[in-house]
Amino acid sequence: MPWLYLGHPSLALPPCQRGQTGLTPQPWGGFPSPGLQSSGQGPLSRFIRHTCLSWTYDSRAAALGGTMTFRGDGNKRDEHLLKKRNVPQEESLEDSDIDSDFKGQNVTLEAILQNAVSDNGLIQLSAVQAARKLLSSDRNPPIDDLIKSGILPILVKCCLALTNIASGTSQQTQAVDAVPLFLRLLQSPHQNVCEQAVWALGNIIGDGPQCRDYVISLGVVKPLLSFINPSIPITFLRNVTWVIVNLCRNKDPPPPMETVQEILPALCVLIYHTDINILVDTVWALSYLTDGGNEQIQMVIDSGLSLPRPLLSHQEVKVQTAALRAVGNIVTGTDEQTQVVLNCDVLSHFPNLLTHPKEKINKEAVWFLSNITAGNQQQVQAVIDAGLLPMIIHQLAKGDFGTQKEAAWAISNLTISGRKDQVEYLVQQNVVPPFCSLLSVKDSQVVQVVLDGLKNVLIMAGDEASTIAEIIEECGGLEKIENLQQHENEDIYKLAFEIIDQYFSGDDIDEDPSLIPEATQGGTFNFDPATNLQAKEFKF
């Protein structure tokens, strides 16, 4: 089944813009939530865990041509615009000045146009303000005459100048106190004017949650979404989608719930677009919304949104990454929300993701799975049944440190959530040696996660704990645990002491028959505990 359906079956599937038909939603239902089991000092909960990744997406605007610039790309701005910005503030004209200059004069369009093309910035400003006054008149504003006069490109350039200022620092953005005017320009009958206004508003919204909420409070969402229609040029739609991303980002605080409700239907349409830039931005918008807590995750699920499953195996890495983060955020929620994703057979994509040549994809994939193994026992079993546990252990042993860290979480979570037979299977996959190798890293959190996992395995093993202890000792883990009794972190040295005291006492070793030297025919002793250990078949 090609599409990952996240919505309720009673909700209609959004229309496809590119002629894709035959899409059948996959229904989902409620599932019991037995909650996490805990043995000793276990890893953090799923909701807290998902914040550990620091890799983020940098939003950008698609290039629209001309002298437009991206946020943060101020050094590349047009020199002419820089000169316009440098007009001394004390020489700027206020409306009262314009009134005095033009009062009693029959200002013609020809005069306004002549002033608009002047090399003097003050004269240009007076012309633009005069044009604004004409357009603001209640009695038949000369809109058509102004367009025919040729002043429109100059007015667009003025809007562009403010757009570039709005793409600067926070102080520069706040200096552009023109949000109501930009919102008014969204109603312009001329698309290039609307496009410039959207660009400027996107830069202001992207400055942070305060600016975002201010622009939202003035009513930006409805006119912005109205541009999403079949006739919109692709470059304009890319810009609109980028602004939607900025509306969704930042979770301290998150966007208003009413705004999320307004945006979700648009995302349900944009998710089917074939343009890579629009597709990536749409999925990142979803990832930001699902990063805002369980309530927003549920809103996305209830919206009827369909996330194309093939995006997880898309040939473009940036599409894969965005899709992986979006579904990854959903599984940070409740067990029921996690099950919605698992019901869509997403785990079938993970063999390729775990062997992807890009390490950041490996890391995201293992992070996703670490939140599955933090779920209920049925969800843990789904990971095992998909054949993913040996691949996680491979990343634990061979991946880069960021991926190893996520793999340590995945393993340790399983020792808390899993049944006895599931933990037994984990040990049978030879997880202990690579797990113990992380006990010597400098990251205290990783060390504690590994100690937690080892202690949970030893507890779960019961009467077979001595066998686990032998494996730990044989791979060098015991020496590392002994050294950790001197660790500066109190939780770590206490855990290390408890493990040594409970499972590595001298009496236990003396009583282990596998460690007793065997007498040879010549009367000498053969001491080879490793050979005796390998001959044992491990089973709890």
Beta carbons of 464 and 423 less than 8 angstroms apart? no
Cα–Cα distance for residue pair 32/515, rounded to 1 Å: 47
The predicted structure's pLDDT at residue 194: 93
pLDDT in tens, 105-118: 446 777 888 887 78
Residues 448 and 371 in one domain: no
Please compute the mean of the pLDDT values over residues 432-445 and round it to a whole number: 97
Q: Which two tokens stand for residue 22?
A: 């035959």
pLDDT in tens, 72-85: 333 333 332 222 22
Give CA 90 to chain center in angstroms.
45
Residues 132 and 38 in one domain: no
**What share of the chain has pLDDT > 90, as a percent?**
54
Please compute the mean of the pLDDT values over residues 124-144 and round it to a whole number: 73
Residues 182 and 37 in one domain: no
Beta carbons of 37 and 422 less than 8 angstroms apart? no
Q: How many CA atoms lie within 13 A of 344 on its CB side?
A: 29
Nearest to 175 by CA among 85, 78, 77: 85
The predicted structure's pLDDT at residue 161: 66
Residues 527 and 439 in one domain: yes
Cα–Cα distance for residue pair 108/112, rounded to 1 Å: 6
**What share of the chain has pLDDT > 70, as a percent?**
68
Q: Which residue has the higher pLDDT, 42 or 483?
A: 483
183 in any annotated domain: yes
The predicted structure's pLDDT at residue 166: 54
The predicted structure's pLDDT at residue 521: 53
The predicted structure's pLDDT at residue 317: 94
Q: DSSP string covering 100-141, please?
A: HHHTT----HHHHHHHHT-S-HHHHHHHHHHHHHHHT-SS--
323 in any annotated domain: no
Residue 3, Ramachandran bin (φ over 0: left; ψ between -120 and 50: alpha; else beta): beta
Does an H or E element contain 4, and which? strand 3-5
Please compute the mean of the pLDDT values over residues 445-471 and round it to a whole number: 96
Give CA 127 to chain center in angstroms.
46
Residues 45 and 133 in one domain: no
Residues 93 and 215 in one domain: yes
Residues 135 and 45 in one domain: no
**Which own/partner pairs from 143-147 qualify as long-range (CB within 8 Å, at least 24 positions apart)?**
145/109, 146/109, 147/190
End of a domain among 396, 429, 462?
429
pLDDT in tens, 208-235: 999 999 999 999 999 999 999 999 999 9
The predicted structure's pLDDT at residue 359: 96
Residue 121 pLDDT grade (very low, low, confident, very high; cuts 50, 70, 90): confident
Residue 120 pLDDT grade (very low, low, confident, very high; cuts 50, 70, 90): confident
308 in any annotated domain: no
Residue 448 pLDDT grade (very low, low, confident, very high; cuts 50, 70, 90): very high
Residue 256, Ramachandran bin (φ over 0: left; ψ between -120 and 50: alpha; else beta): beta
pLDDT in tens, 45-65: 344 344 444 343 343 333 333
Nearest to 347 by CA among 321, 379, 302: 379
Number of domains present in the structure of the chain = 3
Residue 168 pLDDT grade (very low, low, confident, very high; cuts 50, 70, 90): low
Domain membership of residue 352 as a residue range: 1-12+26-51+333-429
Residue type present at position 362: N
pLDDT in tens, 6-23: 433 223 223 233 333 332
Q: Which of 110-114, 164-168, 281-285 has the lowest mean pLDDT?
A: 164-168
pLDDT in tens, 233-244: 999 999 999 999
Beta carbons of 533 and 471 less than 8 angstroms apart? yes
Q: What average pLDDT does the structure give for the chain?
A: 77
Nearest to 248 by CA among 322, 336, 345: 322
| Residue 536 DSSP code | S
8 in any annotated domain: yes
End of a domain among 234, 266, 290?
290
Residues 80 and 182 in one domain: yes
Residue 494 pLDDT grade (very low, low, confident, very high; cuts 50, 70, 90): very high
Residue 68 pLDDT grade (very low, low, confident, very high; cuts 50, 70, 90): very low
71 in any annotated domain: yes
CATH number at residue 492: 1.25.10.10
Q: Which of 42-56, 142-156, 215-229, 360-374 has the lowest mean pLDDT?
A: 42-56
Residues 345 and 458 in one domain: no
100 in any annotated domain: yes
Question: Which CA distances in Å does 165 have to 244, 250, 290, 440?
Answer: 20, 22, 32, 50
End of a domain among 381, 399, 429?
429
Residues 395 and 536 in one domain: no
Predicted confidence (pLDDT) at residue 536 exceeds the cutoff of 50: no
Cα-flanking dihedrals φ and ψ of residue 6, to 5°?
-100, 0
Q: Which residue has the higher pLDDT, 465 or 139?
A: 465
Residue 397 pLDDT grade (very low, low, confident, very high; cuts 50, 70, 90): very high
Residues 35 and 106 in one domain: no
Residue 145 pLDDT grade (very low, low, confident, very high; cuts 50, 70, 90): confident
Cα-flanking dihedrals φ and ψ of residue 501, to 5°?
-65, -40
The predicted structure's pLDDT at residue 371: 97
Q: How many CB atoms neighbour CB 137 within 10 A?
A: 9
Predicted confidence (pLDDT) at residue 300 exceeds the cutoff of 90: yes
301 in any annotated domain: no
- Bridge partners of 308, per DSSP, are 3
Residues 408 and 435 in one domain: no
Question: Which CA distances in Å does 274 have to 24, 269, 404?
Answer: 19, 11, 35
Cα–Cα distance for residue pair 533/530, rounded to 1 Å: 5
Beta carbons of 322 and 283 less than 8 angstroms apart? yes
The predicted structure's pLDDT at residue 446: 98
409 in any annotated domain: yes
Residue type present at position 528: D
